[in-house]
Amino acid sequence: MTEKLLRNGGQILVEALARNAADTVYCVPGESFLPVLDALHGRSDLRTIVTRHEGAASNMADAYGKLKGRPGIAFVTRGPGATHAANGVHTAQQDSTPMILFVGQVATHTREREGFQELDYRRVFGGLAKWATEIESIERIPEVVSRAFACALSGRRGPVVVALPEDVLFGVADVADAPPVRVSEPAPDDSVMPELLQRLQVARRPLVVVGGTGWTEAARQDLTSFVTRFNLPVAASFRRQDVFDNRDPHYVGQMGLGISPALADSVRQSDLLIALGSRLSEVTSGGYTLIRSPRPTQRLVHVHADPLELGCVYQADLPVNAAVVPMTRRLAALTLPAGCAGAWDRWTEDTRAAHVRHHTPLARADGQQGVELSSVVAHLNAVLPDDAIITNGAGNYTVWVHRFYQYRALGTELAPTNGAMGYGLPAAVAAKLAHPARTVVCFAGDGCFMMYPQELATAMQFGAAVIVIVVNNGMLGTIRMHQERKFPGRVSGTHLRNPDFVALAQAFGAHAERVDHEAGFPAAFERARASGRAAVIELCTDPLQIGPQSRLAAASALVR
């Protein structure tokens, strides 16, 4: 007779995570999931990273999911902990990032009494995550966890929210573990490649648009092989620039905020778009004007792993339900049709040349004060190793980063496509802990940085030697820009009175410096790298310089 193996719900849950290759848990501890914390105690295969805010924990889980291609795992307590963490769930949903958020819940016998910190998580997260559920019995823990991993990884990847009632976690039972989850990827059927070739043969201005998730180094190499053989231009969708080496002569820029006017014209002029993995979202499509919905003016080949994305916004001429790995494998095997040699050489050369002009750092504007930001980004572009990871949140400062930095390797751009402020620092900490040998640089505006500055404490506690570049112009620049366009001279709510960022960082034990001119940045950056610990470099920039090539009127900028 087999002896029963009695375990509590926390032990069963943690074992399910380990069996699915989870190796890191981000959390703010709460009494609602104490059995989980106890089960994590002493485990060498599951590292527990305690953050200082639940929003940071969920953002770190999102960053992990982007880097690893496996679900990032976060645990937060019920009620306020869950609503704080909703920020990262929204990012993971819009960014198609695999993530699982486990949330404490009141005991089942107190449900629907508005118990202490009680929420109905299926309703709260039902429209925010791919799947929101609650484990209602201890015996179903392995089943629900397996389904959570499968849901997060299949089709269009995304976040799952799982509520954990206290009595389920504290309960004891003999429950069999489930095997690791395996997810199959859809591949193109045999009719796809001949039709794609036919459409290429008659196209004069084809453009490949890459994005989405599920990319691997092999897929990246297969894509490069395909576009090199056919000599096609490649554009990256919003904040997916690391999918393709930006130095490659076929790369022609990013379709997002700060898109170059020349690339926007090229998208309009294109007669065939081959979208690989990208949803062609609102930002990528220029508000559905560069690529019109529902019927684009360009012929459209739309490749996506989720059949529900095909036909959701765009009626493609050739919709292909396929993940990027099997699709790029088939593309790499294609042979250039007879008569197509050199067909797109001029088109590709011209779009690339326009990108190079747009990427070239700018001269200091007349009367510009403080740090000229394109020079800072250009310096990092020159000195950082190819595998350096760049993170950022939201704000006008990001336009400089995406325009003047060349992403060379997969998994080097961590940036929220949903425009979440504060993302950069938590993402940088997660990246440095996941890849301690790699250089990790976070860009943050002054407003963006102040969303999660306390995560410097997390960086110091766990030895994450990130370098944070705070772009300080004393305002919420993006909102100010829109304010000036719609209500010129009427400044309301966008001026910031900031702390002493150097003193703040030093209070956490971080290395910190202030730079007032770009000439002082290279030496400051090297000192930050040499410090061996988390570092903050404050860049004092001109509040008039609202964009790389746009300035506010001086009188308007003085209005508070």
The pLDDT value recorded for residue 111 is: 77
DSSP alpha helices (H): ranges in 270-396? 324-332, 345-359, 373-383
Give the pairing type, strands 99-105 and 72-76: parallel
CB neighbours of 140 closer than 8 A, spacing ≥ 6?
Answer: none
* Separation of alpha carbons 296 and 280, rounded Å: 11
The pLDDT value recorded for residue 554 is: 60
The pLDDT value recorded for residue 16 is: 98
| Angle formed at CA 452 by CA 53 and CA 445, multiple of 5 degrees | 165
The pLDDT value recorded for residue 362 is: 87
Domains with residue ranges and CATH for the chain: 7-173 (3.40.50.970), 192-357 (3.40.50.1220), 360-557 (3.40.50.970)
The pLDDT value recorded for residue 220 is: 98
| 8-state DSSP, 475 | B
Model's pTM, two decimal places? 0.95
Tens digits of pLDDT across the chain (560 residues): 567 789 999 999 999 999 999 999 999 999 999 999 999 998 999 999 999 999 999 999 999 999 999 999 999 999 999 999 999 999 999 999 999 999 999 878 787 777 777 788 999 999 999 999 999 999 999 999 999 999 999 999 999 999 999 999 999 999 999 999 999 999 999 999 999 999 999 999 999 999 999 999 999 999 999 999 999 999 999 999 999 999 999 999 999 999 999 999 999 999 999 999 999 999 999 999 999 999 999 999 999 999 999 999 999 999 999 999 999 999 999 999 988 999 999 999 999 999 999 999 988 888 889 999 999 999 999 999 999 999 999 999 999 999 999 999 999 999 999 989 999 999 999 999 999 999 999 999 999 999 999 999 999 999 999 999 999 998 887 888 888 888 988 888 888 899 999 999 999 999 999 999 999 999 999 999 999 999 999 999 999 888 888 888 764 544 43
The pLDDT value recorded for residue 555 is: 47
Quick one: which of 163, 101, 176 has its CA closest to 135?
163
Give the gyration radius of the chain's Cα atoms. Answer: 24
The pLDDT value recorded for residue 474 is: 87
Identify whether the C-beta of residue 347 lies closer than 8 Å to the C-beta of residue 204: yes
The pLDDT value recorded for residue 405 is: 97
Both tokens of 41, joined, read 């105690």
CA dihedral 252, 258, 264, 266 (to 10 degrees): -10
Both tokens of 238, joined, read 């919003």
The pLDDT value recorded for residue 118 is: 74
* Separation of alpha carbons 24 and 18, rounded Å: 10
* Separation of alpha carbons 494 and 480, rounded Å: 6
Identify whether the C-beta of residue 551 lies closer than 8 Å to the C-beta of residue 544: yes
